[in-house]
Amino acid sequence: MRAEVLAVGTELLLGQIVDTNSAHIGEELARAGIDCHFQTKVGDNLERIVLALRTALTRAEAVIVCGGLGPTQDDITREAIAAVMNVPLERDEAVLEEIRRLFDSRGRQMAANNARQADVPVGASVIAQRLGTAPGLICPVGQKVIYAVPGVPYEMKEMLERAILPDLRRRAGETAVIASRTLRTWGLSESHLAELLDPRIKALEEAGEGVPTIAFLASGIEGIKVRLTVKAPDEATAERALSLEEAAVRHLLGEAVFGLDEETMEFAVGDLLRRQGLKLAVAESLTGGLLASRIVSIPGSSEWFLGGLVSYATEVKQGLLSVPPGPVVSAEAAEAMAAGVAHLLGADVGLATTGVAGPAEQDGQPPGTVFVGLLLPGARASALQLKLPGDRERIRQMSVISALNGLRLELAARARQQL
């Protein structure tokens, strides 16, 4: 079975409200094993809503309409659905009484406009409202169906779970799940990833149904995600297929993979530090606390993170971190900062950032020049030089994840040596 999602509201087109409802519905449809190939947004215009509904019904067996069920004049989803069904609206007195009861229970008087929420297309059935005032609708259109739910997220989610997903499963007749797993990568371009995975993608395509598909999701400063998706009869079968495919992809991509699903770069670094029993301290110049902020966003990071120093001024670098006289945008300065902060805070590992975020050059270095200092137990401090693109904020953000990635690779190498 295929389903489509139609989000109604001019405010969505104007960017005044972000459409999180469609994303949630799409995720839940996937979990239920129901394909969703299109999601559409349309403004509060009767003709355009009708057109969007009719178009969706040519491509799918079910359409979930979100929004436009309120009491005001621009809430016209009911009218549009009735036009597509070619039936009139009829006021449901039981629904109207329930809306009145809800207002009475809150000590408020029901406005006359709220009565519109009891108008139901003839032949449709009502999804009782439990959290607000607008009921949902299940509207048959021949052998197909339109579901209508309120645009208020918590009201939508409750109706989706209670009424719509069970009805869709019943109509689909067969049980299936669509499951995904996402590998997070850093350091390789999307084209390079595609080249490395091309033989695997072709092999999966030739294998036909029942095997995972591979897709790429560019995620800015969070790197590039490689999403594995499979449709299977049940969750256990889907998980087995995803685990086998994950192993194959990790083998092809190697250390470019740093995390799975919601695992961030800082999570990966923290996990390596924790496993090796090491404590981290950071010294930041151009990143100005962004590095420490990302680290402390991880619950339990106090187990392996001691703290950080924002050494923005040259005199702070030299006075507190023993950076030698000379350019502070240099490998030597980054090394001294990493060693200095580790010594100052009593840490096993030191990580430092210094560089030029722009717009002007500094110490003869152009914007985007960044040095990352690293100090690990039993080794001399070292530095990694980066040339990063973008404006000031992008350079600062990319410096953070690049610094964390540099530390991740060094810690991973150290772990292999200890095996």
Is the model more confident about 374 or about 72? Answer: 374
CB atoms within 10 A of CB 153: 12
Average pLDDT over residues 190-207: 94
Do 167 and 183 sit in the same domain of this protein? no
Q: Which residue among 139, 172, 205 closes a domain?
A: 172
Question: Each residue of 381-402: pLDDT tens digit?
Answer: 999 999 999 999 999 999 999 9
Q: How many domains is the chain built from?
A: 3
Length of the chain as a residue count: 419
Q: What is the CATH number of the domain that holds 97?
A: 3.40.980.10
Predicted local confidence at residue 30, as pLDDT:
87
**Strand arrangement of the beta sheet that strand 3-8 belongs to:** 39-42, 3-8, 62-66, 144-149, 136-141, 125-127
Residues 43 and 161 grouped into a single domain:
yes
CA distance 195 to 25: 33
Clarify whether residues 239 and 325 are in a common domain: no
Average pLDDT over residues 26-39: 91
Q: In the β-sheet with 305-310, what is the strand arrangement from edge to edge? A: 305-310, 280-284, 349-355, 369-375, 382-387
Instruction: Identify each DSSP E strand in 210-279 by its residue range.
Output: 213-218, 224-232, 257-260
Confidence at residue 210, expressed as pLDDT on a 0 to 100 scale: 83
Please give the share of the chain, as a percent, with pLDDT higher than 90.
84
CA distances from 36 to 40, 68, 160, 385 (A): 11, 21, 15, 45
- pLDDT at position 358, please? 93
Which structural domain range is residue 282 located in?
265-418
Task: Using the predicted structure, report yes or no on whether residue 4 has a pLDDT greater than 80.
Answer: yes
Q: How far is CA 411 from CA 301, 406, 408, 415, in A?
A: 16, 9, 5, 6
Question: Are 12 and 146 members of one domain?
Answer: yes
For 208, half-sphere exposure in the C-beta direction (CA atoms, 13 angstrom radius) is 0
Same domain flag for 284 and 243:
no
Mean pLDDT value across residues 306-320: 97
Band of pLDDT at residue 371, cut at 50, 70 and 90: very high
Least confident residue range of 2-6, 299-303, 359-363: 359-363
What contacts 349, CB < 8 A, 6 or more positions away?
273, 278, 279, 280, 281, 342, 374, 375, 376, 377, 407, 411
Q: What pLDDT does 102 receive?
A: 84
For residue 304, pLDDT over 80 is answered with: yes
Q: Which two tokens stand for residue 6?
A: 């139609």
Region 197-224 average pLDDT: 91
Where residue 396 sits, what CATH number does that domain have? 3.90.950.20
- Which of the listed residues 144, 172, 200 is the one where a domain comes to its end? 172
Which tokens in the block code for residue 118?
Answer: 């009891």
Provide the sign of the torsion angle of the four alpha carbons 78, 23, 240, 232, taken in this order: positive
Same domain as 147, residue 7: yes
What tens digit of pLDDT does each residue of 92-121 get?
A: 999 999 888 888 887 888 888 889 999 999
Confidence of residue 90 (pLDDT cuts 50, 70, 90): very high
Instruction: Let me know whether 283 and 319 are in one domain.
Output: yes
Least confident of 10-14, 70-74, 254-258: 70-74
363 neighbors 379 (Cβ within 8 angstroms): no
Rounded-to-integer distance, Cα 230 and Cα 209, Å: 9
* Domain match, 74 and 221 both: no
Query: Positive or negative, the Cα torsion across 6, 10, 13, 15?
Result: negative
Pick from 37, 53, 49: nearest CA to 10 = 49
Terminal-to-terminal C-alpha distance of the chain: 50
1-8 mean pLDDT: 96
Q: Do residues 151 and 253 both lie within one domain? A: no
pTM of the model: 0.76
CA distance 276 to 334: 24
* pLDDT of amino acid 271: 97
Record the tokens describing residue 13, joined without a space.
């087109």
Rounded to whole angstroms, the Cα distance separating 177 from 162 reads 18
Q: Which residues lie across from 355 on neighbouring strands? A: 370
Mean pLDDT, residues 376-381 taken together: 96
- State how far the Cα of 308 lies from the Cα of 313, in Å rounded to an integer: 15
Instruction: Give the pLDDT band of residue 374 (cuts 50, 70, 90).
Output: very high
Q: Average the pLDDT over each of 125-139, 250-264, 364-378 and give the range with the smallest value.
A: 125-139
Q: Mean pLDDT over all residues of the chain?
A: 95
Question: How much is the average pLDDT of 205-233?
Answer: 90
Give the residue from 236, 260, 284 where a domain finishes: 260
- Indicate if 216 and 284 belong to the same structural domain: no
DSSP H helical ranges for 208-264: 235-253
Q: For the segment 113-151, what is each residue's pLDDT rounded down to a tens digit?
A: 889 999 999 999 999 988 888 899 999 999 999 999 999
Q: How confident is the model at residue 177 (pLDDT cuts 50, 70, 90)?
A: confident
**Domain co-membership, 295 together with 218:** no
**Same structural domain, 17 and 144:** yes
* pLDDT score of 3 more than 80: yes
Asked if pLDDT for residue 174 goes beyond 80, the answer is no
Compute the average pLDDT of residues 148-166.
Answer: 95
